[in-house]
Amino acid sequence: MTTDPVVLGIETSCDETGVGIVRGRTLLVDAVASSVEEHARFGGVVPEVASRAHLDAMVPTVERALRDSGLALADVDAVAVTSGPGLAGALLVGVAAAKALALALDVPIYGVNHLAAHVAVDVLEHGPLPEPTMALLVSGGHSSLLLVPDVTSDVRPLGATVDDAAGEAFDKVARLLGLPFPGGPHIDREARSGSSVAIAFPRGLTTGRDLERHRFDFSFSGLKTAVARWVQAKERSGEPVPVADVAASFQEAVVDVLTRKAVAACREHGVDHLLVGGGVAANSRLRALAQQRCEAAGIELRVPRPGLCTDNGAMVAAMGAELVLKGRAPSALDLPSDSSMPVQLVHS
């Protein structure tokens, strides 16, 4: 294998069928087919619908990735696939497809952790990851603060949500406000014309005893309930709900806690690079406040562009390439998928 391996990555942990191809740390193609519209009327991702959509989309998405990259299957040096965490049935589709490709091409297969891949993807945009890096991952399925001395071998969870994921909170509050699913981008847009200080919503796990026990954990379900109560009271009084102000004040409560804890974790662990990833990293206020607080603390902020923050195959390919470049052993061809794969297990 050359020093710059061509790695094809497959992602099917949730509702995106992603097939990305990288050469070393260079992105060649990122093909994504999303079933998000099939879930919209349910207000959340329906696992069985997602699995079936992956089955339909897998072969066409692989074909599209190859066509758009101008590569042939024979050019692929290794296959990487998300083996967990994620929806069990959805993961199985990707893992089965990756095994078939690896077997047919006689190339190594790497089962990778979805969260580690959200971190590794940034090498495609900003080059090699500083070691250590602090990573704040926020999406519809996860909210984690990770200390990452080496993304290919050493990822340490410092904290996570104790209830809803950050994106889930955005989606639920959007629903309360009558905005479409997924709600994050709609809240983001509404918030631009609202006031972030109009309503004082609670900041979960930020005071006293909570902070002692949950230094770097997050909680968003109390916030969601507070927003629901506030909106219901407004409706009962017959007054119009000021959607933009609610959106802006809610959003501020989320991003305030996320950025405060992320910067505190960097300080406490002496880390001067913070990476923010996952779908919620597309949030304009999160990006702005993270930038402001990192600058004030002398921390360099890395945020991949929004297309690389949401689930995609390029992140899996990037993680696979990092494993190859660091000489990590490939997975066995009978590697399992693991819907609750712990983040410390960066590859299987």
List residues near ligand KG4 by CB under 6 A: 14, 139-141, 167, 170-171, 182-185, 188, 278-280, 282-283, 310-311
Site residues (vs Zn ion, CB under 5 A): 139, 311
Judged by beta carbon distances under 5 to 8 A according to partner kind, the member of Zn ion, ligand KG4, none in contact with residue 85 is: none
Judged by beta carbon distances under 5 to 8 A according to partner kind, the member of Zn ion, ligand KG4, none in contact with residue 94 is: none
Angle ∠(113,117,122) on CA atoms, nearest 5: 165
Smaller CB distance to ligand KG4: residue 53 or 324? 53
Judged by beta carbon distances under 5 to 8 A according to partner kind, the member of Zn ion, ligand KG4, none in contact with residue 122 is: none
In the complex, minimum distance from the CB of residue 115 to ligand KG4, in angstroms, rounded to a whole number: 10
Residues 44, 87: contact at Cβ < 8 Å? no
CA distance 295 to 291: 6
Smaller CB distance to ligand KG4: residue 5 or 85? 85
Smaller CB distance to Zn ion: residue 85 or 330? 85
Judged by beta carbon distances under 5 to 8 A according to partner kind, the member of ligand KG4, Zn ion, none in contact with residue 280 is: ligand KG4
How are beta strands 143-150 and 6-11 bridged, if at all? Answer: unpaired
Smaller CB distance to ligand KG4: residue 117 or 324? 117
In the complex, minimum distance from the CB of residue 174 to ligand KG4, in angstroms, rounded to a whole number: 7
Tell me the helices (H) and strands (E) count for the chain, helix number first.
13, 10
CA distance 65 to 19: 6
Report how far apart, in Å, the C-alpha atoms of 282 and of each of 139, 167, 272 are: 10, 11, 22
Copy the structure tokens of residue 16. Answer: 């995106």
Alpha helices, H only, 26-71: 36-40, 47-69
Smaller CB distance to ligand KG4: residue 44 or 336? 44
Q: Which of 179, 204, 239, 170 is nearest to 231 (CA)?
A: 239
Smaller CB distance to ligand KG4: residue 30 or 188? 188
In the complex, minimum distance from the CB of residue 86 to Zn ion, in angstroms, rounded to a whole number: 8
CA distance 167 to 320: 26
